[in-house]
Structure 1
Amino acid sequence: MSAIRIPELPSTVHPADWTVDQAWASYRPDEHRLWTTLYERQTNLLAGRACDAFLNGLDVLDLHRSGIPDFARINPELQKLTGWTIVAVAGLVPDAVFFEHLANRRFPAGQFLRRPDQIDYLQEPDIFHDVFGHVPMLTDPLFADYMQAYGQGGLRALHRGQLHHLARLYWYTVEFGLLQTDRGLRIYGAGILSSHSESVFALEDPSPNRLGFDLRRVMRTPYRIDDFQQVYFATPSIEALRDVTLRDFGPLYDSLEHCEDVAIEAVLPEDVVLTPGATIQARRAADQ
Protein backbone atom coordinates (compact mmCIF):
# COMPACT_ATOMS: atom_id res chain seq x y z
CA MET A 1 0.00 0.00 0.00
CA SER A 2 1.02 3.62 -0.17
CA ALA A 3 3.13 5.44 2.36
CA ILE A 4 1.70 8.04 4.73
CA ARG A 5 4.06 10.68 3.37
CA ILE A 6 3.47 11.31 -0.33
CA PRO A 7 6.33 12.64 -2.46
CA GLU A 8 5.97 15.65 -4.71
CA LEU A 9 4.21 14.72 -7.94
CA PRO A 10 6.86 14.29 -10.67
CA SER A 11 6.29 16.22 -13.88
CA THR A 12 6.15 13.00 -15.92
CA VAL A 13 3.29 11.53 -13.87
CA HIS A 14 -0.31 11.76 -15.02
CA PRO A 15 -1.87 14.05 -12.38
CA ALA A 16 -5.19 12.17 -12.16
CA ASP A 17 -3.96 8.67 -11.40
CA TRP A 18 -0.18 8.96 -10.89
CA THR A 19 0.55 6.63 -13.81
CA VAL A 20 3.61 6.87 -16.03
CA ASP A 21 4.78 5.21 -19.21
CA GLN A 22 6.62 2.01 -18.33
CA ALA A 23 9.22 2.91 -20.99
CA TRP A 24 10.14 -0.75 -21.38
CA ALA A 25 12.61 -0.03 -24.20
CA SER A 26 14.71 2.07 -21.81
CA TYR A 27 15.66 -0.83 -19.52
CA ARG A 28 19.35 -1.65 -19.82
CA PRO A 29 20.73 -5.14 -20.56
CA ASP A 30 22.15 -5.37 -17.03
CA GLU A 31 18.69 -4.67 -15.60
CA HIS A 32 17.16 -7.45 -17.69
CA ARG A 33 19.92 -9.78 -16.48
CA LEU A 34 19.22 -8.83 -12.86
CA TRP A 35 15.50 -9.54 -13.35
CA THR A 36 16.41 -12.97 -14.73
CA THR A 37 18.66 -13.64 -11.74
CA LEU A 38 15.92 -12.65 -9.30
CA TYR A 39 13.29 -14.62 -11.21
CA GLU A 40 15.28 -17.84 -11.42
CA ARG A 41 16.41 -17.65 -7.81
CA GLN A 42 12.84 -17.24 -6.57
CA THR A 43 11.17 -19.80 -8.81
CA ASN A 44 13.74 -22.42 -7.81
CA LEU A 45 12.96 -21.70 -4.16
CA LEU A 46 9.17 -21.48 -4.40
CA ALA A 47 8.44 -24.94 -5.74
CA GLY A 48 6.60 -26.66 -2.89
CA ARG A 49 6.30 -23.36 -0.99
CA ALA A 50 4.08 -21.11 -3.13
CA CYS A 51 0.39 -21.80 -3.61
CA ASP A 52 -0.86 -23.33 -6.86
CA ALA A 53 -2.62 -20.12 -7.97
CA PHE A 54 0.67 -18.23 -7.90
CA LEU A 55 2.64 -20.92 -9.72
CA ASN A 56 -0.08 -21.24 -12.35
CA GLY A 57 -0.03 -17.46 -12.83
CA LEU A 58 3.71 -17.51 -13.43
CA ASP A 59 3.25 -20.08 -16.16
CA VAL A 60 0.33 -18.32 -17.81
CA LEU A 61 2.01 -14.91 -17.95
CA ASP A 62 5.48 -16.21 -18.83
CA LEU A 63 7.23 -13.57 -16.75
CA HIS A 64 10.62 -15.00 -17.61
CA ARG A 65 10.53 -14.06 -21.28
CA SER A 66 12.80 -11.20 -22.42
CA GLY A 67 13.89 -10.12 -18.96
CA ILE A 68 11.81 -7.42 -17.29
CA PRO A 69 8.18 -7.98 -18.35
CA ASP A 70 6.61 -5.55 -20.77
CA PHE A 71 3.20 -4.50 -19.43
CA ALA A 72 1.95 -4.07 -22.99
CA ARG A 73 2.58 -7.79 -23.54
CA ILE A 74 1.18 -9.01 -20.23
CA ASN A 75 -1.98 -6.91 -20.04
CA PRO A 76 -3.98 -8.50 -22.89
CA GLU A 77 -3.55 -11.96 -21.35
CA LEU A 78 -4.26 -10.77 -17.82
CA GLN A 79 -7.31 -8.81 -18.93
CA LYS A 80 -8.64 -11.83 -20.79
CA LEU A 81 -8.30 -13.98 -17.67
CA THR A 82 -9.69 -11.70 -14.95
CA GLY A 83 -10.23 -8.21 -16.36
CA TRP A 84 -7.16 -6.77 -14.61
CA THR A 85 -4.38 -4.66 -16.11
CA ILE A 86 -1.05 -3.41 -14.78
CA VAL A 87 -0.36 0.33 -14.79
CA ALA A 88 3.11 1.74 -14.22
CA VAL A 89 3.71 4.24 -11.42
CA ALA A 90 6.89 6.05 -10.47
CA GLY A 91 6.72 4.99 -6.82
CA LEU A 92 4.35 4.99 -3.87
CA VAL A 93 1.01 6.65 -4.58
CA PRO A 94 -1.63 8.32 -2.36
CA ASP A 95 -4.10 6.01 -0.69
CA ALA A 96 -7.12 7.30 -2.59
CA VAL A 97 -5.34 6.78 -5.91
CA PHE A 98 -4.23 3.29 -4.90
CA PHE A 99 -7.74 2.24 -3.89
CA GLU A 100 -9.27 3.76 -7.03
CA HIS A 101 -6.94 1.68 -9.19
CA LEU A 102 -7.76 -1.54 -7.35
CA ALA A 103 -11.48 -0.84 -7.38
CA ASN A 104 -11.27 -0.60 -11.18
CA ARG A 105 -9.08 -3.70 -11.59
CA ARG A 106 -5.86 -1.82 -12.27
CA PHE A 107 -2.76 -2.83 -10.34
CA PRO A 108 -0.20 -0.01 -9.88
CA ALA A 109 3.31 -1.36 -10.26
CA GLY A 110 6.61 0.41 -9.83
CA GLN A 111 8.61 0.73 -13.04
CA PHE A 112 12.12 0.76 -11.53
CA LEU A 113 14.23 -2.28 -10.63
CA ARG A 114 16.39 -2.53 -7.53
CA ARG A 115 20.18 -2.32 -7.80
CA PRO A 116 22.39 -5.45 -7.61
CA ASP A 117 23.44 -4.54 -4.07
CA GLN A 118 19.75 -4.52 -3.07
CA ILE A 119 19.03 -8.01 -4.35
CA ASP A 120 18.11 -9.33 -0.91
CA TYR A 121 16.24 -6.36 0.55
CA LEU A 122 14.54 -3.20 -0.66
CA GLN A 123 12.09 -1.27 1.51
CA GLU A 124 10.24 0.50 -1.32
CA PRO A 125 8.45 -1.89 -3.70
CA ASP A 126 10.06 -2.17 -7.13
CA ILE A 127 8.94 -3.86 -10.33
CA PHE A 128 10.14 -7.27 -9.13
CA HIS A 129 8.11 -7.11 -5.95
CA ASP A 130 5.06 -5.70 -7.71
CA VAL A 131 5.03 -7.81 -10.86
CA PHE A 132 6.66 -11.07 -9.77
CA GLY A 133 5.13 -10.98 -6.28
CA HIS A 134 1.64 -9.62 -6.96
CA VAL A 135 0.60 -10.06 -10.56
CA PRO A 136 0.55 -13.88 -10.89
CA MET A 137 -2.13 -14.04 -8.17
CA LEU A 138 -4.28 -11.67 -10.24
CA THR A 139 -4.72 -14.45 -12.81
CA ASP A 140 -6.83 -16.31 -10.22
CA PRO A 141 -10.49 -15.22 -10.50
CA LEU A 142 -11.18 -15.49 -6.77
CA PHE A 143 -8.11 -13.50 -5.75
CA ALA A 144 -8.80 -10.98 -8.51
CA ASP A 145 -12.25 -10.42 -7.01
CA TYR A 146 -10.74 -10.07 -3.54
CA MET A 147 -8.37 -7.34 -4.70
CA GLN A 148 -11.16 -5.38 -6.35
CA ALA A 149 -13.34 -5.70 -3.24
CA TYR A 150 -10.40 -4.52 -1.13
CA GLY A 151 -10.02 -1.43 -3.30
CA GLN A 152 -13.71 -0.65 -2.99
CA GLY A 153 -13.50 -1.15 0.77
CA GLY A 154 -10.48 1.11 0.91
CA LEU A 155 -12.39 4.00 -0.62
CA ARG A 156 -15.07 3.55 2.03
CA ALA A 157 -12.50 3.24 4.82
CA LEU A 158 -10.93 6.57 3.86
CA HIS A 159 -14.20 8.34 4.59
CA ARG A 160 -14.56 6.58 7.94
CA GLY A 161 -10.99 7.22 9.13
CA GLN A 162 -10.39 3.47 9.38
CA LEU A 163 -7.44 3.11 7.06
CA HIS A 164 -5.14 1.80 9.79
CA HIS A 165 -7.39 -1.21 10.36
CA LEU A 166 -7.82 -1.92 6.67
CA ALA A 167 -4.08 -1.57 6.05
CA ARG A 168 -3.52 -4.46 8.44
CA LEU A 169 -5.80 -6.66 6.37
CA TYR A 170 -3.76 -5.88 3.25
CA TRP A 171 -0.50 -6.48 5.07
CA TYR A 172 -1.43 -9.85 6.53
CA THR A 173 -3.11 -11.13 3.36
CA VAL A 174 -1.95 -9.56 0.09
CA GLU A 175 1.60 -8.97 1.32
CA PHE A 176 2.25 -11.67 3.92
CA GLY A 177 -0.60 -14.16 3.69
CA LEU A 178 -0.36 -17.93 3.94
CA LEU A 179 -2.86 -20.44 2.61
CA GLN A 180 -3.96 -23.69 4.27
CA THR A 181 -3.88 -26.61 1.84
CA ASP A 182 -4.06 -30.39 2.14
CA ARG A 183 -0.29 -30.39 1.55
CA GLY A 184 0.43 -27.95 4.34
CA LEU A 185 0.85 -24.18 4.44
CA ARG A 186 1.61 -22.40 1.19
CA ILE A 187 2.52 -18.78 0.40
CA TYR A 188 0.33 -16.34 -1.51
CA GLY A 189 1.52 -13.00 -0.07
CA ALA A 190 3.69 -10.93 -2.41
CA GLY A 191 5.98 -9.67 0.34
CA ILE A 192 7.01 -13.26 1.00
CA LEU A 193 6.95 -14.49 -2.60
CA SER A 194 9.35 -11.77 -3.74
CA SER A 195 11.75 -12.26 -0.79
CA HIS A 196 14.30 -15.05 -0.97
CA SER A 197 14.92 -15.17 2.78
CA GLU A 198 11.33 -14.71 3.98
CA SER A 199 10.07 -17.42 1.63
CA VAL A 200 11.97 -19.85 3.84
CA PHE A 201 11.40 -18.04 7.15
CA ALA A 202 7.61 -17.80 6.73
CA LEU A 203 7.15 -21.56 6.46
CA GLU A 204 10.10 -23.13 8.24
CA ASP A 205 11.52 -20.88 10.94
CA PRO A 206 10.44 -21.79 14.50
CA SER A 207 10.17 -18.15 15.58
CA PRO A 208 6.82 -16.78 14.27
CA ASN A 209 3.33 -17.76 15.30
CA ARG A 210 1.21 -19.06 12.43
CA LEU A 211 -2.46 -18.55 13.19
CA GLY A 212 -5.74 -19.24 11.48
CA PHE A 213 -7.13 -16.19 9.70
CA ASP A 214 -9.74 -14.17 11.58
CA LEU A 215 -10.73 -10.78 10.18
CA ARG A 216 -11.26 -9.04 13.51
CA ARG A 217 -8.02 -10.45 14.94
CA VAL A 218 -6.06 -9.34 11.88
CA MET A 219 -7.41 -5.80 12.09
CA ARG A 220 -6.33 -5.61 15.74
CA THR A 221 -2.76 -6.68 14.98
CA PRO A 222 -0.09 -4.07 14.12
CA TYR A 223 2.86 -4.95 11.93
CA ARG A 224 6.49 -3.99 11.37
CA ILE A 225 7.95 -3.12 8.00
CA ASP A 226 11.62 -3.44 8.94
CA ASP A 227 11.92 -7.09 9.95
CA PHE A 228 10.61 -10.57 9.25
CA GLN A 229 7.02 -11.06 10.35
CA GLN A 230 6.44 -12.29 13.88
CA VAL A 231 2.97 -13.63 13.08
CA TYR A 232 1.42 -15.00 9.90
CA PHE A 233 -2.28 -15.61 9.31
CA ALA A 234 -3.31 -18.55 7.13
CA THR A 235 -6.63 -18.51 5.30
CA PRO A 236 -8.51 -21.76 4.59
CA SER A 237 -9.03 -20.78 0.94
CA ILE A 238 -8.88 -17.83 -1.43
CA GLU A 239 -12.66 -18.05 -1.74
CA ALA A 240 -13.04 -17.56 2.02
CA LEU A 241 -10.71 -14.57 1.84
CA ARG A 242 -12.76 -13.02 -0.95
CA ASP A 243 -16.07 -13.65 0.80
CA VAL A 244 -14.96 -11.95 4.00
CA THR A 245 -14.38 -8.67 2.11
CA LEU A 246 -17.88 -8.64 0.63
CA ARG A 247 -19.44 -7.91 4.02
CA ASP A 248 -20.18 -4.47 5.45
CA PHE A 249 -17.17 -3.52 7.57
CA GLY A 250 -19.08 -0.68 9.29
CA PRO A 251 -20.15 -2.62 12.41
CA LEU A 252 -16.70 -4.17 12.67
CA TYR A 253 -15.02 -0.77 12.52
CA ASP A 254 -17.39 0.50 15.21
CA SER A 255 -16.53 -2.39 17.51
CA LEU A 256 -12.81 -1.95 16.96
CA GLU A 257 -12.98 1.60 18.28
CA HIS A 258 -13.32 0.09 21.76
CA CYS A 259 -10.65 -2.60 21.39
CA GLU A 260 -6.98 -2.40 22.17
CA ASP A 261 -4.43 -3.61 19.67
CA VAL A 262 -3.00 -7.09 20.11
CA ALA A 263 0.77 -7.33 20.55
CA ILE A 264 2.32 -8.72 17.38
CA GLU A 265 3.86 -11.73 19.11
CA ALA A 266 0.83 -12.47 21.33
CA VAL A 267 -1.38 -15.55 21.17
CA LEU A 268 -4.95 -15.12 22.41
CA PRO A 269 -6.99 -17.93 23.98
CA GLU A 270 -9.41 -17.85 21.05
CA ASP A 271 -6.69 -17.99 18.37
CA VAL A 272 -6.45 -21.05 16.15
CA VAL A 273 -2.76 -21.87 16.46
CA LEU A 274 -1.45 -23.73 13.44
CA THR A 275 2.21 -23.49 14.44
CA PRO A 276 3.18 -22.06 17.84
CA GLY A 277 6.17 -19.75 17.58
CA ALA A 278 9.22 -19.48 19.76
CA THR A 279 9.05 -15.68 19.10
CA ILE A 280 12.84 -15.57 18.82
CA GLN A 281 12.61 -12.90 16.14
CA ALA A 282 10.21 -10.81 18.21
CA ARG A 283 12.49 -10.80 21.24
CA ARG A 284 15.48 -9.99 19.03
CA ALA A 285 13.61 -7.06 17.49
CA ALA A 286 12.58 -5.76 20.91
CA ASP A 287 16.19 -5.73 22.04
CA GLN A 288 17.37 -3.63 19.11
Structure 2
Amino acid sequence: MPIIVVSVAWMPEYRHHTEPAYSNDAWHQNNEAGGESLNFLNQDGRFYGYVRVDGNLAFKGHPEQFDVDGDGIGRADIVFVGPNPQSGTLFVVGFYRNAKVLTVSGQDPSGRDGIHFITEDAVLIPENERVFFIPSAQRRDDGYPYGVGQSRVWYALTLDDNTIELRNDLIEYMANPMDGDPSINELNSNDEEVKRLSAHRRFERRGNYGAIKAGKGNQCECCGWEAKKGTVWTAALELHHKKPLAQLQPNKPRRLVSEDFALLCARCHRAIHSFGFPEDIARFKAEHLH
Protein backbone atom coordinates (compact mmCIF):
# COMPACT_ATOMS: atom_id res chain seq x y z
CA MET A 1 0.00 0.00 0.00
CA PRO A 2 1.44 3.45 -0.89
CA ILE A 3 2.11 5.85 1.99
CA ILE A 4 1.52 9.61 1.87
CA VAL A 5 2.74 11.85 4.70
CA VAL A 6 0.55 14.90 5.29
CA SER A 7 1.66 17.87 7.40
CA VAL A 8 -1.08 19.46 9.53
CA ALA A 9 -1.34 21.62 12.64
CA TRP A 10 -0.91 19.94 16.04
CA MET A 11 -4.29 19.63 17.81
CA PRO A 12 -5.47 17.55 20.78
CA GLU A 13 -8.29 15.61 19.12
CA TYR A 14 -9.08 17.07 15.64
CA ARG A 15 -12.80 16.90 16.37
CA HIS A 16 -13.88 20.51 16.86
CA HIS A 17 -13.07 23.91 15.38
CA THR A 18 -12.49 25.42 18.84
CA GLU A 19 -9.54 23.16 19.71
CA PRO A 20 -6.17 24.91 20.13
CA ALA A 21 -3.94 24.48 17.08
CA TYR A 22 -0.17 24.84 16.81
CA SER A 23 1.81 25.00 13.59
CA ASN A 24 5.03 26.39 12.12
CA ASP A 25 2.91 27.48 9.16
CA ALA A 26 2.32 31.25 8.99
CA TRP A 27 -1.23 30.65 7.73
CA HIS A 28 -2.13 28.69 10.86
CA GLN A 29 -0.57 31.32 13.08
CA ASN A 30 -3.02 33.85 11.65
CA ASN A 31 -5.95 31.42 11.74
CA GLU A 32 -6.44 29.57 15.02
CA ALA A 33 -7.88 26.43 13.40
CA GLY A 34 -7.64 25.06 9.88
CA GLY A 35 -9.70 22.54 7.97
CA GLU A 36 -7.84 19.67 9.67
CA SER A 37 -9.71 20.45 12.90
CA LEU A 38 -12.28 17.75 11.98
CA ASN A 39 -9.91 15.16 10.47
CA PHE A 40 -10.62 12.61 13.22
CA LEU A 41 -14.32 13.31 13.71
CA ASN A 42 -16.41 10.23 12.93
CA GLN A 43 -19.08 11.32 10.47
CA ASP A 44 -21.52 8.47 9.82
CA GLY A 45 -18.77 5.86 10.05
CA ARG A 46 -16.25 7.73 7.91
CA PHE A 47 -13.38 10.15 8.47
CA TYR A 48 -12.61 12.96 6.05
CA GLY A 49 -9.06 14.22 5.80
CA TYR A 50 -8.31 17.83 4.94
CA VAL A 51 -4.97 19.15 3.75
CA ARG A 52 -4.34 22.67 2.51
CA VAL A 53 -2.76 22.43 -0.93
CA ASP A 54 -2.63 24.73 -3.92
CA GLY A 55 -4.53 23.05 -6.72
CA ASN A 56 -4.89 19.27 -7.01
CA LEU A 57 -2.79 16.38 -5.70
CA ALA A 58 -0.31 15.57 -8.46
CA PHE A 59 1.29 12.43 -6.97
CA LYS A 60 4.62 13.80 -8.14
CA GLY A 61 3.91 12.64 -11.68
CA HIS A 62 3.56 8.97 -10.68
CA PRO A 63 -0.20 8.33 -10.40
CA GLU A 64 0.31 4.64 -11.21
CA GLN A 65 2.15 4.17 -7.89
CA PHE A 66 -0.99 5.29 -6.06
CA ASP A 67 -3.51 3.20 -8.05
CA VAL A 68 -5.20 6.32 -9.40
CA ASP A 69 -8.09 5.51 -11.73
CA GLY A 70 -9.58 7.57 -14.55
CA ASP A 71 -11.70 9.56 -12.11
CA GLY A 72 -8.64 10.71 -10.14
CA ILE A 73 -9.27 8.39 -7.20
CA GLY A 74 -6.53 6.25 -5.67
CA ARG A 75 -5.74 4.35 -2.45
CA ALA A 76 -3.02 4.92 0.13
CA ASP A 77 -2.21 4.90 3.84
CA ILE A 78 -2.20 8.51 5.07
CA VAL A 79 0.15 9.50 7.90
CA PHE A 80 -0.68 12.84 9.50
CA VAL A 81 2.24 14.63 11.18
CA GLY A 82 2.31 17.82 13.23
CA PRO A 83 4.90 19.97 15.06
CA ASN A 84 5.13 19.44 18.81
CA PRO A 85 4.29 22.79 20.47
CA GLN A 86 7.31 22.57 22.80
CA SER A 87 9.99 21.65 20.26
CA GLY A 88 8.55 22.24 16.80
CA THR A 89 9.70 18.72 15.87
CA LEU A 90 7.35 16.70 13.66
CA PHE A 91 5.63 13.66 15.20
CA VAL A 92 2.96 11.31 13.90
CA VAL A 93 -0.40 12.49 15.26
CA GLY A 94 -2.58 9.87 13.58
CA PHE A 95 -3.20 7.97 10.37
CA TYR A 96 -5.79 6.64 7.94
CA ARG A 97 -5.52 3.05 6.75
CA ASN A 98 -6.46 2.19 3.16
CA ALA A 99 -7.88 5.64 2.48
CA LYS A 100 -9.54 6.77 -0.71
CA VAL A 101 -7.37 9.54 -2.18
CA LEU A 102 -9.07 12.27 -4.20
CA THR A 103 -6.89 14.09 -6.72
CA VAL A 104 -9.49 16.87 -6.87
CA SER A 105 -10.68 17.93 -3.42
CA GLY A 106 -14.25 17.34 -2.27
CA GLN A 107 -16.49 18.11 0.71
CA ASP A 108 -17.39 16.23 3.86
CA PRO A 109 -20.98 15.91 5.17
CA SER A 110 -20.55 19.13 7.20
CA GLY A 111 -19.73 21.09 4.05
CA ARG A 112 -16.00 21.41 4.80
CA ASP A 113 -13.97 21.91 1.61
CA GLY A 114 -10.43 20.71 0.88
CA ILE A 115 -11.10 17.02 1.53
CA HIS A 116 -8.55 14.74 -0.18
CA PHE A 117 -8.75 11.57 1.93
CA ILE A 118 -11.68 9.40 3.06
CA THR A 119 -11.47 6.28 5.23
CA GLU A 120 -13.46 4.11 7.59
CA ASP A 121 -10.31 3.14 9.52
CA ALA A 122 -8.69 6.06 11.35
CA VAL A 123 -6.35 6.05 14.37
CA LEU A 124 -5.69 9.20 16.40
CA ILE A 125 -2.64 9.12 18.68
CA PRO A 126 -3.28 10.74 22.10
CA GLU A 127 -1.14 13.83 22.68
CA ASN A 128 1.03 12.24 25.36
CA GLU A 129 1.67 9.19 23.14
CA ARG A 130 2.97 11.07 20.09
CA VAL A 131 6.57 9.92 20.10
CA PHE A 132 7.14 8.70 16.53
CA PHE A 133 9.54 11.27 15.11
CA ILE A 134 9.44 12.26 11.41
CA PRO A 135 12.59 13.89 9.95
CA SER A 136 12.39 17.40 8.51
CA ALA A 137 14.28 18.64 5.47
CA GLN A 138 14.83 21.94 7.28
CA ARG A 139 16.63 20.30 10.23
CA ARG A 140 19.80 18.55 9.20
CA ASP A 141 20.88 17.85 12.79
CA ASP A 142 18.54 14.86 12.97
CA GLY A 143 20.95 12.58 11.08
CA TYR A 144 18.63 11.77 8.16
CA PRO A 145 19.50 12.53 4.50
CA TYR A 146 15.82 13.21 3.73
CA GLY A 147 12.76 14.69 5.37
CA VAL A 148 9.46 16.50 5.03
CA GLY A 149 9.99 19.84 3.31
CA GLN A 150 7.78 22.89 2.92
CA SER A 151 5.19 20.98 0.93
CA ARG A 152 2.31 19.75 3.08
CA VAL A 153 2.17 16.46 1.15
CA TRP A 154 5.23 14.15 1.08
CA TYR A 155 5.32 11.24 -1.38
CA ALA A 156 8.91 10.10 -0.79
CA LEU A 157 8.03 7.03 1.30
CA THR A 158 6.44 5.54 -1.82
CA LEU A 159 8.77 6.87 -4.51
CA ASP A 160 12.24 7.15 -2.92
CA ASP A 161 14.24 4.02 -2.06
CA ASN A 162 16.38 6.05 0.39
CA THR A 163 13.44 6.19 2.79
CA ILE A 164 12.88 2.41 3.01
CA GLU A 165 13.88 2.18 6.69
CA LEU A 166 11.45 4.90 7.75
CA ARG A 167 8.75 3.37 5.57
CA ASN A 168 9.22 -0.05 7.20
CA ASP A 169 9.11 1.49 10.68
CA LEU A 170 5.86 3.29 9.84
CA ILE A 171 4.28 0.13 8.40
CA GLU A 172 5.10 -1.75 11.62
CA TYR A 173 3.85 1.14 13.73
CA MET A 174 0.54 1.43 11.87
CA ALA A 175 -0.03 -2.32 12.19
CA ASN A 176 0.37 -2.20 16.00
CA PRO A 177 0.04 1.43 17.10
CA MET A 178 -0.77 0.60 20.72
CA ASP A 179 2.01 -1.95 21.28
CA GLY A 180 3.98 -0.96 24.33
CA ASP A 181 1.29 1.30 25.72
CA PRO A 182 0.96 1.30 29.50
CA SER A 183 -1.65 -0.87 31.12
CA ILE A 184 -4.40 0.71 33.22
CA ASN A 185 -2.48 -0.34 36.36
CA GLU A 186 0.65 1.36 35.06
CA LEU A 187 -1.21 4.55 34.24
CA ASN A 188 -2.67 4.64 37.75
CA SER A 189 0.56 3.66 39.46
CA ASN A 190 2.28 6.06 41.84
CA ASP A 191 5.53 4.16 41.36
CA GLU A 192 7.87 6.35 39.30
CA GLU A 193 9.98 3.33 38.30
CA VAL A 194 6.90 1.61 36.84
CA LYS A 195 6.11 4.75 34.87
CA ARG A 196 9.67 5.05 33.58
CA LEU A 197 9.69 1.41 32.45
CA SER A 198 6.42 2.02 30.66
CA ALA A 199 7.89 5.09 28.93
CA HIS A 200 10.96 3.07 27.97
CA ARG A 201 8.83 0.39 26.29
CA ARG A 202 6.86 2.98 24.34
CA PHE A 203 10.06 4.60 23.06
CA GLU A 204 11.40 1.17 22.06
CA ARG A 205 8.26 0.30 20.12
CA ARG A 206 7.55 3.69 18.60
CA GLY A 207 10.87 5.35 17.97
CA ASN A 208 12.58 5.28 14.56
CA TYR A 209 14.88 2.55 15.80
CA GLY A 210 15.21 0.82 12.46
CA ALA A 211 16.53 3.91 10.71
CA ILE A 212 18.84 4.84 13.59
CA LYS A 213 20.23 1.31 13.85
CA ALA A 214 20.85 1.13 10.10
CA GLY A 215 22.84 4.35 10.27
CA LYS A 216 25.11 2.95 13.00
CA GLY A 217 26.74 0.35 10.77
CA ASN A 218 27.31 -3.26 11.79
CA GLN A 219 30.03 -3.18 14.45
CA CYS A 220 29.76 -3.22 18.24
CA GLU A 221 31.03 0.06 19.70
CA CYS A 222 32.36 -1.74 22.78
CA CYS A 223 34.19 -4.91 21.76
CA GLY A 224 34.43 -4.30 18.02
CA TRP A 225 32.61 -7.50 17.01
CA GLU A 226 31.27 -7.11 13.49
CA ALA A 227 28.19 -8.72 11.96
CA LYS A 228 28.26 -9.42 8.26
CA LYS A 229 25.63 -7.35 6.48
CA GLY A 230 22.67 -9.25 5.11
CA THR A 231 23.03 -12.15 7.57
CA VAL A 232 21.03 -13.22 10.61
CA TRP A 233 23.88 -12.02 12.84
CA THR A 234 22.87 -8.37 12.42
CA ALA A 235 19.98 -9.20 14.79
CA ALA A 236 22.62 -9.64 17.53
CA LEU A 237 23.40 -5.91 17.33
CA GLU A 238 21.21 -3.73 19.54
CA LEU A 239 20.74 -0.07 20.33
CA HIS A 240 21.80 0.93 23.84
CA HIS A 241 20.30 4.04 25.48
CA LYS A 242 23.06 6.41 26.49
CA LYS A 243 20.52 8.38 28.50
CA PRO A 244 19.79 6.46 31.71
CA LEU A 245 16.30 5.06 32.08
CA ALA A 246 15.91 6.99 35.33
CA GLN A 247 16.00 10.24 33.34
CA LEU A 248 13.12 9.29 31.03
CA GLN A 249 10.02 11.30 31.81
CA PRO A 250 6.75 9.39 31.42
CA ASN A 251 4.16 10.74 28.97
CA LYS A 252 6.52 13.37 27.59
CA PRO A 253 7.26 13.26 23.83
CA ARG A 254 10.93 13.43 23.03
CA ARG A 255 12.89 13.48 19.83
CA LEU A 256 14.96 10.38 19.20
CA VAL A 257 18.28 11.03 17.45
CA SER A 258 21.27 8.85 16.63
CA GLU A 259 23.42 10.47 19.31
CA ASP A 260 21.09 9.09 22.01
CA PHE A 261 22.28 5.55 21.32
CA ALA A 262 25.29 3.29 20.95
CA LEU A 263 25.30 0.14 18.82
CA LEU A 264 26.33 -2.86 20.93
CA CYS A 265 26.42 -6.59 20.46
CA ALA A 266 23.98 -8.52 22.64
CA ARG A 267 26.76 -9.69 24.98
CA CYS A 268 28.13 -6.20 25.64
CA HIS A 269 24.62 -4.81 25.93
CA ARG A 270 23.76 -7.24 28.71
CA ALA A 271 27.08 -6.66 30.46
CA ILE A 272 26.96 -2.86 30.41
CA HIS A 273 23.58 -2.91 32.16
CA SER A 274 25.27 -4.77 35.02
CA PHE A 275 27.93 -2.07 35.13
CA GLY A 276 27.52 0.81 37.57
CA PHE A 277 27.72 3.43 34.84
CA PRO A 278 25.78 2.09 31.81
CA GLU A 279 25.83 5.49 30.12
CA ASP A 280 29.66 5.64 30.16
CA ILE A 281 30.79 3.36 27.33
CA ALA A 282 34.40 4.56 27.41
CA ARG A 283 34.72 3.70 31.10
CA PHE A 284 33.10 0.30 30.57
CA LYS A 285 35.61 -0.49 27.79
CA ALA A 286 38.57 0.69 29.89
CA GLU A 287 37.61 -1.35 32.93
CA HIS A 288 36.27 -4.55 31.34
CA LEU A 289 37.58 -4.91 27.79
CA HIS A 290 41.26 -4.04 28.11
Task: Provide the TM-score with structure 2 as the length reference.
Answer: 0.31
Bigger strand fraction = 2
Bigger helix fraction = 1
Task: Provide the TM-score with structure 1 as the length reference.
Answer: 0.31
Compare CA radii of gyration and give the structure with the larger one. 2
Report 1 or 2 for greater relative contact order, CA contacts < 8 Å, sequence distance ≥ 6: 1
